[in-house]
Chain A
Amino acid sequence: MSDHAPPNAIQPITLTINGTPYTLDVAPWTTLLDLLRLDLDLTGTKKGCDHGQCGACTVLIDDVRMNACLTLAIMKDGASITTVEGLAGRDGVLHPLQDAFIEHDAFQCGYCTPGQLCSAVGLLREGHACSAAEIREHMSGNLCRCGAYPNIVAAIEQVLAGSVEQALAGPVEQALAGPVEQGAAKARKPQRAEPHEPGRAERIELGEAVR
């Protein structure tokens, strides 16, 4: 089989990325992840395993979280993509989840963090997770080799306990709508999450797996 490009290979597509429209000529074998990182220099989205197993490449495609590494860019012609670069407002005001991650020290090396943040935005939009156990389950597609899981869960719990609507009225939309008042997204004093024992359920389960 040939490794040369077939004659009709390269095709033009349009994507809106973090609110900015792009017209791009892409090869069909280009993943969305490589397009973002290599062609558009949007290197916030990370390549971890490149096989859909770690979640570091998680982005929002038409507001739905997916693995950019398993997505062919050409298939998303016309879509709106949000990456970690699009979570904060253009004036630098952080997304409430970003604030919560900082407050809870929800990372160490930071490599998985862009994927964790985009995944958490997706989790908020989906609305299926409420408890800490549900957050853990619904964030299971994002691995953190530093083991910051308890703090990641606490950060998401905190945002869930506050105004999810406000968290989802993300700075991307605000930035597009017009100038955002400096510090507006930080004005809400975050509520403290319920005390939470990380990893407790896991330990019980392992001991009781199968009688």
Chain B
Amino acid sequence: MNRFSYLRPGDVRGAIQEIASDPAARVIAGGTNLVDLLKYDVERPTRLVDISRLPGLDAIEATPGGGLRIGALVSNSTLAYDDRVAEHYPLLAAAILAGASPQLRNAASTGGNLLQRTRCHYFYDTGTACNKRDPGSGCPARTGVNRIHAILGTSEHCIATHPSDLCVALAALEATVLVTGPDGDRVIPFDRFHRLPGDHPQHDTTLAHGEIVIAVELPAQEFASHYTYLKLRDRQSYAFALVSVAAALDLDGDRIRTARLALGGVAHKPWRDTAAEALLCGRPATADSFARAADVILAEARGYGHNDFKIGLARHAIVRALEQAAAGTPQSQTDKRIR
């Protein structure tokens, strides 16, 4: 770990000033990703600005529109076990409990989950090139060991994946991200918060330096009865997704009125596909409809060798997740047999 100074401003304005005035400053809250990156010398900040005790950012509150506002400092475990989340947004609770370990969920914050780095083994290994860590140095993953890598939305510069489960649910639930910074407040639709690598894989999100996440808002539509979070991985617990699917349906009899579909483990960002959702609207909730949706999502998918299997795995996972959602039998995050 390099040497850095440590500041704990007393309010949001003070924090923003301390961050914005130093391009090499980093924000820390739960620290579960950043401290790890510090240890690998992937991050070498001049100062850490500790926002973990900022007042007013640790509440879960109902919004006037019937949704829920989640403060950026609410821990992952507090969020997962909150009664309102469990009752009204069980997809979110399921996704959180599918991720990390109890220790990490206790420490990790909501804002930090959004801002954990999109990453791969090469990003962590400072002995190799990586366009995300060292722009312009190259991407050895494309021709290297790439079993865990992306199949959608990649660029020639980066094929890393965003590892969050929580964010896949937020994408499906059409959350918005409230941020504040030197130029004031912004509301960012979830789909525009994370970005694809393109020519600038060093940027995971559209957040500007000096801006911090204040809260995440969930809209009123809950999808509390027909949903699932299906996560497929190399071991049953405490592993990143190879492929995960957040599926939510609003049914009119056996016809689909509204569908939400987002994938994890397959792209640089949580991968929501509104074209596949639109295709499902008005169709019967059958395996045939679900297979068509999978075709739409995976039409542009490409593997890089070791991760070719993810395309087939994603196809099956999408169909199965939609079957679980339609049947109202969400995947258990304890008994992981897939039914």
Contact = CB atoms under 8 A, between A and B. Distances in A.
A94 B2 CA distance: 41
Interface stretch (A17-25, A62-70, A158-166): A62-70
B104 A67 contact: yes
Given A1-B46, A3-B2, A75-B50, A209 B103 contact: no
Give the interface size class of chain B.
35 or more
Interface string B221-242: 0000000000010001110000
B5 A52 contact: no
B337 A204 contact: yes
Contacts of A55: 101, 103
B289 interface: no
Nearest to A204: B337
A71 B102 contact: no
Contact of B102 (A1, A9, A75, A138): A138
A67 B106 CA distance: 9
A187 interface: no
Interface stretch (A83-91, A99-107, A119-127, A167-175): A119-127
A5 B107 CA distance: 27
Nearest to A6: B5
A150 interface: no
B6 A70 contact: no
B232 A71 contact: no
A65 B103 contact: yes
B24 A1 contact: yes
Contact of A134 (B81, B236, B334): B334
A202 B236 CA distance: 8
Contacts of A137: 237, 333-334
A5 B36 CA distance: 20
A58 interface: yes
Contacts of B316: 210-211
Contact of B313 (A58, A64, A126, A210): A210
A30 B52 CA distance: 17
B336 to A, nearest CB: 5
A37 interface: no
A6 B3 contact: yes
Contact of A72 (B28, B44, B100, B334): B28
A48 to B, nearest CB: 13
Given A50-B39, A52-B32, A210-B320, A71 B3 contact: no
Contacts of B31: 70-72, 75
Given A1-B44, A75-B28, A205-B337, A140 B237 contact: yes
A148 interface: no
Interface in B237-253: 237-238
B275 interface: no
A126 B75 CA distance: 14
A141 B104 CA distance: 8
A7 B6 CA distance: 11
B103 A5 contact: no
A29 B4 contact: yes
Given A9-B5, A66-B107, A137-B237, A29 B38 contact: yes
Interface string B23-64: 010001001100110110000101110101000000000000
A55 B105 CA distance: 13
A201 interface: yes
Contacts of A7: 5
Given A65-B103, A72-B28, A141-B104, 19 more contacts: A2-B3, A6-B3, A31-B35, A50-B39, A52-B104, A65-B102, A66-B103, A67-B32, A72-B35, A72-B48, A74-B6, A75-B28, A133-B334, A137-B237, A201-B336, A205-B336, A210-B316, A210-B317, A211-B316
Interface of B: 1-6, 24, 28, 31-32, 35-36, 38-39, 44, 46-48, 50, 52, 77, 81, 100-104, 106-107, 232, 236-238, 313, 316-317, 320, 333-338
Interface of A: 1-9, 11, 27-29, 31, 50-52, 55, 58, 64-67, 69-72, 74-75, 119, 122-123, 126, 128, 131, 133-134, 136-138, 140-142, 201-202, 204-205, 208-211
20 contacts: A2-B2, A3-B3, A6-B3, A6-B46, A8-B5, A9-B5, A9-B6, A28-B6, A29-B1, A29-B38, A51-B39, A52-B32, A70-B104, A119-B102, A140-B238, A141-B100, A141-B102, A201-B336, A201-B337, A208-B337
